[in-house]
Structure 1
Amino acid sequence: MSSPLPARGLYAITADPHDCDRLLPQVEAALKGGARILQLRDKHRRLAPAEARLLLRSCRAHRVPLIINDDIELARQMGADGVHLGREDTDLQRARTRLGPDAVIGASCYADLDRAVAARKAGATYVAFGAFFSSPTKPHATPAPLDLLTTAKSRLNCPIVAIGGITPENGSALLQAGADYLAVIHGVFSQSDPEKAARRYADLFETHAELP
């Protein structure tokens, strides 16, 4: 585990892959477009560990951390930078024990600030809130209000991820409210040109940095 967590930026999450031959060039394009973190989301376990390592190789070449969704043992086996855990996944303390003190461990907190506070106390590296907008991945998610990001930023000393229906058009409001990362699935990986799509999100962070 060797890629440090960046201060801010596009957090690209893969759509459930059908095969590595299709996914790998999409990932490479997203990384070239400016993704600063990559999460492998493989709910159906279609990729073999050897194929997942090809993604890790690309991430290493771009100095981008690779986070594995849900699967602590895969993250440990392949030497990924960390894991992201949701409500139904293994508890954070077990993940920290298995992956070690330097691993990145993210926690989905939905629209629940108390859950985020507890996750941080349990050792989460970052917390994620959402969905902020309508999302095809989580169509029934409880909507998260923008001011949740502002409150979380004032109470938590860790990076904050916003997720759920984020587009280049609505992402600026999330950054202004306090998000450090914008997590995007379909806005990058369902596009005909993932590199161009990723760059549009990456540009938001440059614009936000220039605002007074």
Structure 2
Amino acid sequence: MALKTDSLRLYLVTDPSLCPGPRLVETVAAAVRGGVTFVQLRDKDASTRDRIEAACALKGVLAGTGIPLVINDDLDAALAADVDGIHIGQEDVSPDIARHRLGHGKLIGLSCETTVQVAAANVDFVDYLGLGTVFATSTKADHKPTIGLIGLSEMVRLAKIPTVAIGGLKKEHAADILKTGCDGIAVVYAICGQPDPEQAARDLGRAIQSRNGTFL
């Protein structure tokens, strides 16, 4: 799958503590109805088998939508479930190994926390960069120091491939994030932690729409 930059516009990262068990599929289905454009399955404590099962269930939800589905970190699960790719951190499997195993038909996203990491990202192996943590967030307790909007702007300026911002983002941040040149915003709690994920996604989409003048 070739990455369409627009698909990064509203990027959902799942969280097992906010949408456990069957609520995962329900939450993602609702978020898709609300306008989510990309989904990352993230469950750091699950087994590969559980990630495969969850990914297959989400593939059913996303079938025919054109919305990419990637798995956080787990190459074996990504291959077995035949999802659209993988998202990795700086301490996970290296991008070159991930590309070798996945081939060139899959997406690879890479988290970057510093300008040095952005500059070092190899565009031969990576399709997009996840930049952050922008603001403090409770959904990732071990995150590195926050970069804020100034740090985000510096990272975007150095990036040679599409970017998505992550970390404590809400609808009121959409305009400022997009002003930095970032291609989209990634959220966890702003959708998964809301009583109505569909409406939450729709509100986020409208905030993005009002900034760039396009319709979701």
Q: Scaled by the length of structure 1, what TM-score is found?
A: 0.90
* Residues 134 and 152 in structure 2, CA contact (< 8 A), matched pair in contact too: no
Query: 1:55-70 alignment to 2 at 5 Å?
Result: 55-70=58-73
- 3-state SS, counterpart of residue 83 of structure 1: strand
**CA distance in 1: counterparts of 2:109 and 2:3, whole angstroms:** 14
More displaced 10-residue stretch of structure 1: 186-195 or 17-26: 17-26
Deviation per residue, 1:49-90 (Å, 9 max, x gap): 233201012122322000100101111111111101112210
- 3-state SS, counterpart of residue 169 of structure 1: helix
- 3-state SS, counterpart of residue 172 of structure 2: coil
Q: Does 1:158 align with 2:157?
A: no
Partner in structure 2 of residue 16 of structure 1: 16
Partner in structure 1 of residue 91 of structure 2: 88
Q: Does 1:51 align with 2:54?
A: yes
Query: 1:1-212 alignment to 2 at 5 Å?
Result: 2=1, 4-7=3-6, 8-16=8-16, 19-45=20-46, 47=50, 49-110=52-113, 112-121=114-123, 123-139=125-141, 140-210=143-213
More displaced 10-residue stretch of structure 1: 146-155 or 188-197: 146-155
Q: Which residue identity does 2:37 align to in structure 1?
A: R
* Residues 5 and 65 in structure 1, CA contact (< 8 A), matched pair in contact too: no
More displaced 10-residue stretch of structure 1: 25-34 or 172-181: 172-181
**CA distance in 2: counterparts of 1:198 and 1:38, whole angstroms:** 12
**CA distance in 2: counterparts of 1:132 and 1:152, whole angstroms:** 11
Q: Scaled by the length of structure 2, what TM-score is found?
A: 0.88
Cα displacement (A) at 1:153: 3.3
- 3-state SS, counterpart of residue 140 of structure 2: coil
**CA distance in 2: counterparts of 1:56 and 1:128, whole angstroms:** 22
- 3-state SS, counterpart of residue 86 of structure 2: strand
**CA distance in 1: counterparts of 2:106 and 2:151, whole angstroms:** 26
Deviation per residue, 1:137-170 (Å, 9 max, x gap): 2345311132333333333231111111001112
Query: Mind listing any 5+ residue stretches in structure 2 that lack a counterpart?
Result: none
Q: What is the identity percentage for the equivalent residue pairs of Structure 1 and Structure 2?
A: 33
**CA distance in 2: counterparts of 1:188 and 1:25, whole angstroms:** 12
Deviation per residue, 1:84-142 (Å, 9 max, x gap): 111221000000001111211111111x1121121234521111111111210234531
The RMSD of aligned alpha carbons is 2.0
